[in-house]
Amino acid sequence: MPEINVSHEGNKLKRLTGAVQSKHPAAYLGIAIKTITPITRSVDRIVRRFAQQRPSPCLKQVPCAFIVCPPRSGGTVIYQALTRALPSVYLSNAHALFPGLGTWLLDAGREWPRACELFDNYYGYTAHLLDVYEGNEFFEWAYRDYSKHSDHGSEHLRREFERLIGLLSPLPSECVIFKNARAYSVVERLHRAVPEIVFVRAKRDRGQVIESVVRAFRELGYFHPVPDAVREMDVKDPIEFACAQVEAIEASLDEQLSHLSSSSRFEISYEAFCERPYEFINTLAYDLLKLSPGSVRNCSALAKLRVSRRRKVSDAERSRIQSLIQKGGREYPL
């Protein structure tokens, strides 16, 4: 049985080997980004001094959606769909390479045929320079320990979020869309600091999520993200660990989102979204983000959305996962 790795870096060699063996263009682009980022970011710092930048907007005037969910819940597909259908700025692979020039590159590529961009990704990585990027390094400030601050770091969090919005520099007609796998743990903290955010919770059939998490572990050699309570469990079995991981993340989201008003949270079922994407996109755009009438674009690629039916585990493992779900994620008591 493979050792369970709970580091967000994971087993780097296993991760690299799995990415190369996948032959997926998104995996190759992800490798390239990690390899050349030190060079491109140095270039970015020099060039941005001379490039014409968009004006920095006022945070209170920026419609912002932040997708939160357990891993393998369809969040990246929803992220891709929203950025194609809404006038938006988002962290892209271009921003990963050139943080200060990323939005300029998005502007330059607006006329590229988005309809040709399939809703495909490799464990959150995408294959197009202008496609979405989770951007863990852009959110490091959100996960620091602010327990010593009387305001739980709300003022600092707001300043950091304002800097990120300033980096993206959306136009008055645009919204900002984020997704980050680790953000499930800081929803309430971010809401206190930036009440303007609308948190979009992506939900998927629990069994399908866990099956996909198990498959990802077998291909990449690690679990991510892992709640602290699960990290401390003495669990050696990947299936049981995956169940506990997903159950803990869902419970954390349930608890935090229960404290937010209906105007600050929105739930999207991955399965229903694939069938009726515009129903959810219109509600988010007009009822929650308050975008101007006619903002939602027709995107032919949305018609190609399909729920993933790929077989991920054996029939016996599927039955065991369903049994574990009914028992709350564990076969044996701690």
| C-beta neighbour count of 260 within 10 angstroms | 16
Quick one: pLDDT at residue 11?
64
Distance CA 56, CA 162 (A): 9
110 has pLDDT over 80: no
Quick one: pLDDT at residue 28?
87
Give the pair of three-digit tokens for residue 298: 């027709």
Percent residues over pLDDT 90 in the chain: 66
- Mean pLDDT computed over 283-308: 93
Q: Do residues 264 and 195 touch, judged by C-beta distance below 8 A?
A: yes
- Choose between 233 and 11: higher pLDDT: 233
Residue 151 — pLDDT band, cuts 50, 70, 90? Answer: low
Per-residue model confidence as pLDDT tens digits over 187-211: 999 999 999 999 999 999 999 999 9
Q: If you ran DSSP here, which 8-state letter would residue 40 be given?
A: H
- Choose between 302 and 11: higher pLDDT: 302
4 has pLDDT over 70: no
Name every residue whose Cβ is closer than 8 Å to that of residue 265 and which is 6 or more positions away in sequence.
198, 199, 200, 201, 257
Quick one: pLDDT at residue 36?
96
| C-beta neighbour count of 143 within 10 angstroms | 15
- Mean pLDDT computed over 138-167: 85
Distance CA 131, CA 26 (A): 10
Residue 225: CA count within 13 A, CB half-sphere: 21
Q: Nearest 5°: phi and psi at 256?
A: -70, -45
Location of structure tokens 């136009």: 171
Residue 117 — pLDDT band, cuts 50, 70, 90? Answer: low
Residue 283 — pLDDT band, cuts 50, 70, 90? Answer: very high
List, in sequence order, every residue forming a beta bridge with 89; answer none if it has no partner: 176
Q: Is 46 exposed, middle or buried (0-12, 13-18, 19+ CB in 10 A)?
A: exposed
Q: Do residues 90 and 176 touch, judged by C-beta distance below 8 A?
A: yes
- Mean pLDDT computed over 268-290: 97
Ordered by start, the domain boundaries in the chain are 12-206+265-313
118 has pLDDT over 80: no
- Choose between 195 and 9: higher pLDDT: 195
Rg (CA), the chain: 20
- Choose between 327 and 125: higher pLDDT: 125
Location of structure tokens 């495909």: 120
296 has pLDDT over 90: yes
Q: What's the mean pLDDT when you consider all of the chain?
A: 88
Per-residue model confidence as pLDDT tens digits over 49-84: 887 777 778 888 999 999 999 999 999 999 999 999
Give the pair of three-digit tokens for residue 141: 């400030």
Quick one: pLDDT at residue 81?
95
List, in sequence order, every residue forming a beta bridge with 265; answer none if it has no partner: 199
Per-residue model confidence as pLDDT tens digits over 171-180: 999 999 999 9
Quick one: pLDDT at residue 1?
43
Quick one: pLDDT at residue 115?
40
Q: Is 320 exposed, middle or buried (0-12, 13-18, 19+ CB in 10 A)?
A: middle
| C-beta neighbour count of 210 within 10 angstroms | 28
